[in-house]
Amino acid sequence: MSTKRILAAAGLLCGLSFSVSAQEPLSAIDWLSDSVRNPNQILTAPSRNDISENALPERVTVSPLGRPSPDAVGLLPTSVTGLPRSLWGTSASLNLANRIKAKRINQSPAMQDLLYMLLLAELSPPADSNPESTLFLARIDTLLELGALDPAAALLERAGLENPAIFRRYFDVSLLMWSEDQACRTLRTTPQLSPTFPARIFCLARGGNWNAAALTLGTARALNVVSAEEDAVLARFLDPGLFEGEPPLPAPVRPTPLTFRMLDAIGEAIPTSALPLAFANSDLNAHSGWKSQLQAAERLARTGALDANILFRFYSERAPAASGGIWERVQLVQDLDNALSKGSVDDVARILPVVWQAFRDSELEMAFASMFASQLQTLDLPEPVSVIAFHTGLLSADYENVARARMDSANPGLLEQIATGTVSRDPAANRVEAAIRNGFTNSGIPVRLQSLTREGRLGEAILRAIELFSNGALGDLDELSDALTFFRAVGLEDTARQAALQLLLLDRRG
């Protein structure tokens, strides 16, 4: 996943067209690099009369024969998701895009997982699917906001890179994944893509053609089509020796991935901790220090963008370099792993409460459960430590078996009832538990979602139900009940159970 391109300086001024900022559909995110020009815009002198400024024919959208619509591209077939191919049905692309982009699901990992499934599913495009690929771009942008660059790159490659809006995202994903050389080659060999000057210059330099890159920067200055900030970064990127001894450039308020990478190359790297989540992926590379890798891995693990096994690998890499903060979690993970490897019940019982609290404080309980839940279930731990092990198991993918192994069949608690799908109408301890019981004992499609399902807009109804659950987790308990009832009615029983368990076990209610 990478960057840009090469163009010899000799042909630079022929047929020149340029736009400082390409026009993007509604789904665009605001930190993308200005890497490819919009084919609808050209560089011209200001017009003072009504004479046409160019004789270009009207734009024609071209796509390779046999390639599916980007809106139909996915990574998960229906045999994996269980979703019908016609999930989007009659929904309008713009409505779906807006619902996807509006998701705020930090409270619930189960809702994150469901959204990922919808973003990655291989489905028939909506009835009004258009050449602008409104739905596809909304899916990609949401993956970028979640930090999930690997699946985003795979989707972009499957969709084809001839569309400037699609390539623009591929280019930036490539920069953040340190794999820009292929993207530069694609930009050079794809006639439909017309690079902006910063992209030309970067890719010329990446290809080793430094003289052409410098000449291209001079041309850009003469045409006044690079900003002062871009000029300063590009000049130092091409010849950092000229600026030796000068103070660093002012840190940009909202760097693009292209600016971010060039600043890194000249030794003026920007910490990713305050940047959008997608930038954290650049710190997973071996060029970063261990602490940066750990911090990035934890950020990405919180949104489900990084597998817990990879996070565990970073934790286990070596002995912690200091104490406190993230180093405490590293040490605790290593201590617990050693205790489990030895099968020492006493050591596990001593360490588990401390490590569990550390992971709760950092909102990494789901990653912790993925790493250790199965091993903890094999130990005969004393109370109250056994309760922590039990709750960890309920947060894992094996929650139902964990519950059945512990459940008192004569008097199961609400957690066991949820995990096994046997929720009763017993009196509830509080309003949240009452709403959850209602969600599991009511049946059918809730009234507020009936019109969407009747009109063949099931996918849109699921997105709406994610919103209802998120509102419910923040206190709107009627919406919480309706969301759970709906998920169960449309076959998303596992989602309903996991979401309810997480709501009760995790502190995500604001």
Residue that wins the pLDDT comparison between 158 and 44: 158
CA 440 remoteness from chain centre = 30
Residue 414 · residue 501 · CB < 8 Å: no
Structure confidence at residue 45 as a pLDDT band (50, 70, 90): very low
The span from the CA of 475 to the CA of 492, in Å, is 22
3 state DSSP class of 259: helix
CB atoms within 10 A of CB 108: 24
Q: What are phi and psi of 175, to 5 degrees?
A: -60, -45
Per-residue model confidence (pLDDT) at position 13: 27
Residue 352 · residue 375 · CB < 8 Å: no
Residue 5 has pLDDT above 90, yes or no: no
Residue 409 has pLDDT above 80, yes or no: no
Q: Tokens standing for 202?
A: 């970067």
Q: CA 275 → CA 104, 131, 252, 262, distances in Å?
A: 18, 31, 11, 16
The span from the CA of 259 to the CA of 208, in Å, is 19
Instruction: Tell me which DSSP letter residue 173 carries.
Output: H
The span from the CA of 303 to the CA of 310, in Å, is 14
Residue 392 · residue 357 · CB < 8 Å: no
The CA-based angle 374-113-361, given to 5 degrees, is 65
Per-residue model confidence (pLDDT) at position 64: 52
The third-level CATH classification (topology) of the domain covering 9-41+129-243 is: 1.25.40
Q: Tokens standing for 33?
A: 């690099």
Q: Tokens standing for 470?
A: 């998120």
Residue 272 · residue 280 · CB < 8 Å: yes
Per-residue model confidence (pLDDT) at position 8: 28
The span from the CA of 423 to the CA of 54, in Å, is 69
Residue 485 · residue 448 · CB < 8 Å: no
Mean pLDDT of the chain: 88
Close Cβ partners of 498 (under 8 Å, ≥ 6 residues apart): 109, 110, 113, 399
Residue 325 · residue 291 · CB < 8 Å: no
Parts of the chain belonging to CATH 1.25.40 = 9-41+129-243
CA dihedral 314, 317, 319, 321 (to 10 degrees): -50
Q: Tokens standing for 340?
A: 């489990």
- Cα maximum dimension of the chain: 87
The span from the CA of 359 to the CA of 309, in Å, is 15
Residue 510 has pLDDT above 60, yes or no: no
341-366 pLDDT per residue, tens: 999 999 999 999 999 999 999 999 99
Average pLDDT over residues 261-269: 95
Per-residue model confidence (pLDDT) at position 224: 94
Per-residue model confidence (pLDDT) at position 48: 37
Q: What are phi and psi of 121, to 5 degrees?
A: -70, 145
* Structural Rg of the chain based on CA atoms: 26
191-227 pLDDT per residue, tens: 889 999 999 999 999 999 999 999 999 999 999 999 9
Residue 330 has pLDDT above 80, yes or no: yes
Residue 12 has pLDDT above 50, yes or no: no
Per-residue model confidence (pLDDT) at position 51: 37
The span from the CA of 213 to the CA of 85, in Å, is 47
Per-residue model confidence (pLDDT) at position 192: 87
Q: What are phi and psi of 430, to 5 degrees?
A: -160, 180
Q: Do you find a cis peptide bond into 427, omega within 30 degrees of 0?
A: no
Helices (H) and strands (E) in the chain, counts: 24, 0
3 state DSSP class of 140: helix
CA 501 remoteness from chain centre = 24
Residue 233 · residue 257 · CB < 8 Å: no
The span from the CA of 232 to the CA of 337, in Å, is 49
